[in-house]
Structure 1
Amino acid sequence: MLAVALAQGTLPPFLPCELQPHGLVNCNWLFLKSVPHFSAAAPRDNVTSLSLLSNRIHHLHDSDFAQLSNLQKLNLKWNCPPAGLSPMHFPCHMTIEPNTFLAVPTLEELNLSYNGITTVPALPSSLVSLILSRTNILQLDPTSLTGLHALRFLYMDGNCYYKNPCGRALEVAPGALLGLGNLTHLSLKYNNLTTVPRSLPPSLEYLLLSYNHIVTLAPEDLANLTALRVLDVGGNCRRCDHARNPCVECPHKFPQLHSDTFSHLSRLEGLVLKDSSLYQLNPRWFRGLGNLTVLDLSENFLYDCITKTKAFQGLAQLRRLNLSFNYHKKVSFAHLTLAPSFGSLLSLQELDMHGIFFRSLSQKTLQPLARLPMLQRLYLQMNFINQAQLGIFKDFPGLRYIDLSDNRISGAVEPVATTGEVDGGKKVWLTSRDLTPGPLDTPSSEDFMPSCKNLSFTLDLSRNNLVTVQPEMFAQLSRLQCLRLSHNSISQAVNGSQFVPLTSLQVLDLSHNKLDLYHGRSFTELPRLEALDLSYNSQPFSMRGVGHNLSFVAQLPTLRYLSLAHNGIHSRVSQQLCSTSLWALDFSGNSLSQMWAEGDLYLRFFQGLRSLIRLDLSQNRLHTLLPCTLGNLPKSLQLLRLRNNYLAFFNWSSLTLLPNLETLDLAGNQLKALSNGSLPSGTQLQRLDVSRNSIIFVVPGFFALATRLRELNLSANALRTVEPSWFGFLAGSLEVLDVSANPLHCACGAAFVDFLLQVQAAVPGLPSRVKCGSPGQLQGRSIFAQDLRLCLDESLSWDCFGLSLLVVALGLAMPMLHHLCGWDLWYCFHLGLAWLPRRGWQRGADALSYDAFVVFDKAQSAVADWVYNELRVRLEERRGRRALRLCLEERDWLPGKTLFENLWASVYSSRKMLFVLAHTDQVSGLLRASFLLAQQRLLEDRKDVVVLVILSPDARRSRYVRLRQRLCRQSVLFWPHQPSGQRSFWAQLGMALTRDNRHFYNQNFCRGPTMAE
């Protein structure tokens, strides 16, 4: 089937990769060991971007990219990382052949970062952007980047630092980059540089040299870089008490910045001097920087300087200033007063002052900022502020965002006089534990709670020490539109008086507190409130016997968004929520299963929300959802979330009770099958998510009647196939069909492959994320990785299975039978062999008179006695109907004939000649003559008729006997010493006398005598 699909061109064209919009072929995270060569049927000329991020490609060949004639962007990041950056610290070296990239003359962007390369490979002249970060390249000379006249962006960060150690510094030879006449962006961060590279191209606009060891800067270091717009030299002389990674303390009396270092950089717009151990700011550093808009001075020692510096007087164009973490080691100050020169920053829009550590925020603190008409964002978090006069922000009409989170504000304070000095009050010594930032709040989905980014005034007081909220805190803040009070310890009963001054408030976040919702007029003092977050206030709801009043919702006429999530609400609450304005309600993380188990008490809990559009009932421990329950949900619902419950059954026909429902989310439940009915006809459902269930079966036609369905998520279930019969005519209308993370059975002729190829535009990650779950050899591989050699006929497969099972059974039975009854089987086998030829000989009994002519030395009485009384009796009298006819000299020779005539007749009238010998070293007389006649018969008739019986096995054996043992072992028999072996001897002798000696010859040495033609 794959071969047919390939011939018809229906397979995804860039297997195993995925074609994405704008000509991007995504091959990320496929564990490829070589660059894939796409088929000629693929539209390779349309490929402009190829991403091979995070694979295992260690060798790049000249022809790897030659087929992509219009390739412009190539990402080879994280294929062969250096030892220090490898998760297992294994060394890796990437080999790049000389013409690998030269074969792509259209290439403009190349990312070779995080690869073990030691030299810059040959590159095409069309290259515009080159990333060589986190490699092993430690030297740049004028020949390294020859011919790259179009190059504008060069990044070589982290080629020699603590994670990628090299024991030296990156060497940039003077003038090594001077030939790059169009270079505008150069980044050499984390390379152990001690000086600014010499003779950099004057076209540079962005120069990033942070986190090296450049502790001295003079005008000549940046002499010809007059076009610079951004300069980053931070982290070169660090303050290690605030370092988050290995740090080397800044030497004493360093860094040394010449007064005129930046004076000639008149076009400079951004300057980064962070983490540079600066104690003072020299106003001359900023002289001539009239276009400077961004200045980063964070993580220095400017706690005293910012109270009296004049360095900001000439920075009228500055828009963003970062002074964060300019604290005194282990000290927090009582007060902070900014220097008057801050008032000169007339264009300042954003000021970051978190982590300076002062305990009181008053009007004096920010007085110079009140004259800044464009100031919009002020960051004061993590300062250990415990007293804050929030009313001072009335004097900042342009402020849109104030961040006072992660402080210790506990309530309203009265205005107090300050000394105006940074250390004008008592110093408090801090431990290192106090300097650790708290966890960031996780943003919620804007479907259920809007953000404040578009509002005109936001105040963030989250993660403070508030226990109660008093209206005095927000006096003169009537224009405040968004207030965040999450992660405090507010445990009061809100009664409608706490937020009286906030007449313009639209969004109120009170999550992660301990609010007591008892009063029916809670929050009614907020006439414009649109969004209220009361999630994670579970402590009052966990108190046994305490009632909770949610009737206040009906008193909020403009409320649009309400979150009561993760409160553990289960009993003793209002029987019904009522609101004509509410659009979205997040009720996840409660216990509706317990509420709805109380008969009809809470059956209509949501029915009073007449305008509700979105409802989240996730994590409510629901095991079933009855039609009467769905029927009492608001008819206006368009989105219903039921994620992460315990639903093993869903009555799909009850969706008719929600006529406007467009999105249904049932992910993370326990559905086993979609079999009870189907999606009802006429439903408005457009998006259905049943991912992360245990669905193993879908009834045919289940989705067919939902004609408006456009997005379907069936991922992470237990489906072994995807049948077109599930969808009917709907399949062609689907925009998204996610079937990833299912254990699909990739049998030969699987119909789901054809179906997915037909709708492949709607299947996200079809080439790489849709994988086989069986058979075992394909588990975890793409459904298109199937080996056609595995596609065998099913009946033949069963036959092979049966045959292999039989072989295994015999292989196990044979050793066991041999161990238990080996001797019996051997005896029966040889007895049968001796019997079969005898029956054949009896059919031709007229041919020869005797079965064997017994030859022995009559002079040896012991031998004669054994022949007459043992051999004769055994072979003639005790074998029954299988008795042999022996020819004996004294009994069967005819009187009157000569000795030779009788001997001749006996030899040629017998099938075999049985020589009974006591020893083999000396043979004469009749024995010798008989043996010579046997040899003559061998030459004439080509029949070997000799059988030797040696009665003394210990006697010395002649060379003839030893040779015959080697060639025809079964024709040489020895009389056993032990009586237990005599039965075997007689059986072997009977077989030797009844079968042709040709069957006994060792084929490794001789084929035996052949029959005469």
Structure 2
Amino acid sequence: MKALNATLPTQGLLNFKNLVYLDLSFSTLHNNFLKDIGKISSLKILLLSGCQLSGTIPAAKGLCELKHLLKLDMSNNDLRGTLPSCLANLTSLQQLDISSNHFIGNISISPLGTLTSLHKLQLSRNLFKIPISLLPFFNHSKLKFLDCHENEIYADIDVPNLTPKFQLETLDLSGQGDGGVFPKFLDYQHKLEYVDLSDIKMKGEFPHWLIGNNTKLYTLHLPSCSLSGPLHLPMHSHVYLSHLDISDNSFNSPIPTEIGVQFPNLYFLNLSGNGLIGDIPSSFGKMSQLIKLDLSNNRLSGIIPQDLIVGCISLFNLILSNNNLQGQIFPEQANCKELDRLLLDGNQFTGSIPYSILNCTLLNMLDVSDNHLFGSIPGWIRNMTFLRVLDISENKFSGTLPSNFVPPQIREVYLSNNRLQGPLTNAFYNCSELMTLDLSRNYFTRRIPDWFGKFPKLSYLLLGYNNLVGEIPIQLCNLGQLSLVDLSNNNLSGHVLPCITAASNKVRQEEVGTNPYMASSPAYMKQPLEFTTKSISYYFQGSILKYISGLDLSCNNLTV
């Protein structure tokens, strides 16, 4: 049924006494509808998602009279209050979806515990209090799908030694809360396919037995669960598991050497923020279907194993940031034709940028900042035609910039805190898509090129702490999107351009839609921009940059 913008007159519907299926989703209904719907006592399926219903569910009348109801969907409304006890009358109900409302109350004392015919129950995005033991549902022998994410999960004080009658296939309790210990009812589950307990604090080690007991499990999400102890894997290989996220826990142990053999069909693996130590196992090369691998923010050491780069032929994102990895940043042999993001920042890599990265023909983002790389910047980077973000800041690169060394579609370039020198010549001459250019804290000389005025989308220009001379080119007045400009600590002379001053004082539009260039800005923009004012350095990154304006011309020879 097509959604109606006006309030739907429902009086006539109430005359259809034999109606069994009614779908009014995304229509606008009067609140009295929930009181009157009981007149259609034959209803078996009632769909009221997105109907702008508000207030509480009427007690005793209306919904509570639909004793033949098999499926009820009241999601995406503005319903609130506790669930009325009369809902216990709906003993035939098999599917119930009341997600995305404002219901409150403890599930342990709600009527849901009596609806033992339920197969599928969706309570997500409400204000319920739900015990992590799921004790209220232990008699629901038919329950297979339970979605409770974005409610408050709490630990039971005393849980009886009972075995649940259900065998769940999908379980989502993610959101917030302190669950105490890892839930014991999961010991008895053998048909799980999807489990998400994200952001629930629980004591215990990584539950490798959960994977071993459920041979069809394909997704396991346990990030930020306060798990600790060594990271153990199940005894046998698990061929169904495709998504594993156990980031931001405290394992503080090596990655098991045979992880690639144990989980050969993983698509997504996130082990970031766990204090992991030791080398990156070469068995990762066995994961030929791996799309995303995130090992960032650990204490891993050693080199990037060549087996990883050669064997993971489907790899789209490789994130190894903030570890203690050493050696060359990329093996000489590489089979990474699908790679889109390569983040190696915050390590101890040495040497130059290897030519093998050019094999990553679809690379969109390359971040090797904050390492110990040296040598000159290779001119072949211009051949990486899909590259949009290049960050090689905070290294020891030297020499001059090659002419046109970046592809013309580049959007963000970060070269700060290196030892680059010489004139800027035409390094970025044809980069019409450029939005961020940070060349600060190097040794660049001569004038700011006039062709800087040909970057119509340029918003952030940082040239501070170099040896630039001459006047500020008037062509910068053509840059209508400039919002953050740092030309400080150079040897610039001449007059301050009024247009630059006006740009620094402009009020940024808070709606991205008013700025077509900002609307097309890439989602990452994760690199922080350093901006100094009154001798204090500030770092801005992410979406906050949309609202920042600034101009620093200090420590030059300029006149007003």
What is the TM-score normalised by the length of structure 2? 0.59
- 2:481 maps to 1:689: yes
> Aligned residue for 1:602?
399
Q: 1:679 to 1:612 in 2, by over 3 A?
A: closer
Q: Which has the higher mean CA deviation after the structures are superposed, 320-329 or 349-358?
A: 320-329
What is the CA distance between 1:404 and its match in structure 2?
1.2
Kindly indicate whether the alpha-carbon contact (under 8 Å) linking 2:133 and 2:155 is maintained by their aligned counterparts in 1. yes
> Aligned residue for 2:248?
406
> Aligned residue for 1:511?
321
Supply the distance in 2 between the matched residues of 1:486 and 1:233 (Cα, whole angstroms).
Answer: 37
Q: 1:636 to 1:260 in 2, by over 3 A?
A: closer
Kindly indicate whether the alpha-carbon contact (under 8 Å) linking 1:692 and 1:715 is maintained by their aligned counterparts in 2. no
Q: Secondary structure at the match of 2:221?
A: strand
Kindly indicate whether the alpha-carbon contact (under 8 Å) linking 2:244 and 2:266 is maintained by their aligned counterparts in 1. no
Query: Match for 1:236 among 81, 87, 105?
Result: 105
For residues 164-179 of structure 1, the aligned pairs below 5 Å read 178=35
Q: Secondary structure at the match of 1:365?
A: helix
> Aligned residue for 1:878?
none
Q: 1:186 to 1:283 in 2, by over 3 A?
A: same
Supply the distance in 2 between the matched residues of 1:719 and 1:295 (Cα, whole angstroms).
Answer: 46
- Structure with more relative contact order (C-alpha pairs < 8 Å, separation 6 or more): 2
> Aligned residue for 2:458?
664
For residues 420-819 of structure 1, the aligned pairs below 5 Å read 457-471=267-281, 474=284, 476-494=286-304, 496=306, 502-516=312-326, 518-519=327-328, 522=331, 524=333, 526-528=335-337, 530-534=339-343, 536-537=345-346, 540=348, 548-554=350-356, 556-559=358-361, 560-564=363-367, 566-567=369-370, 572-574=374-376, 576=378, 578-579=380-381, 580-581=383-384, 583-584=386-387, 586-588=389-391, 590=393, 602-604=399-401, 611=407, 613-614=409-410, 616-618=412-414, 620=416, 628-633=423-428, 638-639=433-434, 641-642=436-437, 650-653=448-451, 663-667=457-461, 676=473, 678=475, 689-693=481-485, 697-698=498-499, 716-718=503-505
> Aligned residue for 1:206?
74
What is the CA distance between 1:508 and its match in structure 2?
0.7
Supply the distance in 1 between the matched residues of 2:78 and 2:5 (Cα, whole angstroms).
Answer: 27
Q: Secondary structure at the match of 1:178?
A: helix
Supply the distance in 2 between the matched residues of 1:655 and 1:621 (Cα, whole angstroms).
Answer: 24
> Aligned residue for 1:321?
172
> Aligned residue for 1:339?
187
Kindly indicate whether the alpha-carbon contact (under 8 Å) linking 1:566 and 1:589 is maintained by their aligned counterparts in 2. yes
Kindly indicate whether the alpha-carbon contact (under 8 Å) linking 1:295 and 1:322 is maintained by their aligned counterparts in 2. yes
Q: Secondary structure at the match of 1:395?
A: coil
Supply the distance in 1 between the matched residues of 2:30 and 2:448 (Cα, whole angstroms).
Answer: 56
For residues 119-130 of structure 1, the aligned pairs below 5 Å read none
Q: 1:228 to 1:480 in 2, by over 3 A?
A: closer
Q: Deviations over 1:346-386 (max 9, x none)?
A: xx555336543331443x331233225xx446345434244
Supply the distance in 2 between the matched residues of 1:484 and 1:475 (Cα, whole angstroms).
Answer: 15
Q: Secondary structure at the match of 1:717?
A: helix
- AA in 2 matched with 1:664: L
Q: Deviations over 1:265-322 (max 9, x none)?
A: 78865577953346453556536668x5635587243799899844433x6xx65532
Q: Deviations over 1:126-165 (max 9, x none)?
A: 899xxxxxxxxxxxxxxxxxxxxx95377xxxxxxxxxxx
What is the CA distance between 1:589 and its match in structure 2?
7.7
Q: Deviations over 1:378-437 (max 9, x none)?
A: 3454342443356879624362x3211012343133799xxxxxxxxxxxxxxxxxxxxx
What is the CA distance between 1:462 and its match in structure 2?
0.8
Supply the distance in 1 between the matched residues of 2:90 and 2:461 (Cα, whole angstroms).
Answer: 62
> Aligned residue for 1:351?
196
- Please identify which structure carries the higher strand content: 2
Kindly indicate whether the alpha-carbon contact (under 8 Å) linking 1:584 and 1:614 is maintained by their aligned counterparts in 2. yes
Kindly indicate whether the alpha-carbon contact (under 8 Å) linking 2:329 and 2:353 is maintained by their aligned counterparts in 1. yes
Supply the distance in 1 between the matched residues of 2:320 and 2:61 (Cα, whole angstroms).
Answer: 54
Q: Secondary structure at the match of 1:356?
A: strand
> Aligned residue for 2:166?
312
- AA in 2 matched with 1:178: K
Q: 1:665 to 1:180 in 2, by over 3 A?
A: same
- AA in 2 matched with 1:198: A
Q: 1:414 to 1:180 in 2, by over 3 A?
A: same
Q: Secondary structure at the match of 1:388?
A: coil
Supply the distance in 2 between the matched residues of 1:528 and 1:337 (Cα, whole angstroms).
Answer: 44
Q: Deviations over 1:660-697 (max 9, x none)?
A: x77434457789x99845489xxxx9x86322449853
- AA in 1 matched with 2:328: H
- 2:234 maps to 1:395: no
Supply the distance in 2 between the matched residues of 1:461 and 1:590 (Cα, whole angstroms).
Answer: 26
What is the CA distance between 1:468 and its match in structure 2?
3.1
- AA in 2 matched with 1:357: K
Q: Flag the structure with larger Rg.
A: 1
- AA in 2 matched with 1:549: G
Supply the distance in 1 between the matched residues of 2:96 and 2:309 (Cα, whole angstroms).
Answer: 50
Supply the distance in 1 between the matched residues of 2:343 and 2:119 (Cα, whole angstroms).
Answer: 52
Q: 1:266 to 1:552 in 2, by over 3 A?
A: closer
Supply the distance in 2 between the matched residues of 1:676 and 1:356 (Cα, whole angstroms).
Answer: 60
Gaps of 5+ in 2: 11-26, 39-47, 67-71, 260-264, 487-495, 508-513, 519-546, 548-560
Kindly indicate whether the alpha-carbon contact (under 8 Å) linking 1:338 and 1:366 is maintained by their aligned counterparts in 2. no
Q: Deviations over 1:557-579 (max 9, x none)?
A: 1251343365277x844453645
- AA in 2 matched with 1:402: L
Supply the distance in 1 between the matched residues of 2:127 and 2:143 (Cα, whole angstroms).
Answer: 15
What is the CA distance between 1:223 and its match in structure 2?
5.2
What is the CA distance between 1:260 and its match in structure 2?
6.1
What is the CA distance between 1:458 and its match in structure 2?
1.2
> Aligned residue for 2:216?
371
Supply the distance in 2 between the matched residues of 1:407 and 1:266 (Cα, whole angstroms).
Answer: 33
Supply the distance in 1 between the matched residues of 2:356 and 2:457 (Cα, whole angstroms).
Answer: 26
What is the CA distance between 1:457 and its match in structure 2?
1.1
> Aligned residue for 1:729?
none
- 2:85 maps to 1:276: no
Supply the distance in 2 between the matched residues of 1:501 and 1:304 (Cα, whole angstroms).
Answer: 49
Supply the distance in 2 between the matched residues of 1:736 and 1:561 (Cα, whole angstroms).
Answer: 21
The alignment of Structure 1 onto Structure 2 pairs a total of residues equal to 447
Supply the distance in 1 between the matched residues of 2:58 and 2:34 (Cα, whole angstroms).
Answer: 9
Q: 1:456 to 1:496 in 2, by over 3 A?
A: closer
What is the CA distance between 1:471 and its match in structure 2?
2.1
- Please identify which structure carries the higher helix content: 1
Supply the distance in 1 between the matched residues of 2:312 and 2:157 (Cα, whole angstroms).
Answer: 35
- 2:115 maps to 1:262: yes
Supply the distance in 1 between the matched residues of 2:98 and 2:115 (Cα, whole angstroms).
Answer: 11
Q: 1:377 to 1:576 in 2, by over 3 A?
A: same
What is the TM-score normalised by the length of structure 1? 0.35
Gaps of 5+ in 1: 1-105, 109-124, 129-149, 155-174, 190-195, 239-254, 417-454, 542-547, 596-600, 700-713, 721-733, 739-768, 770-1013
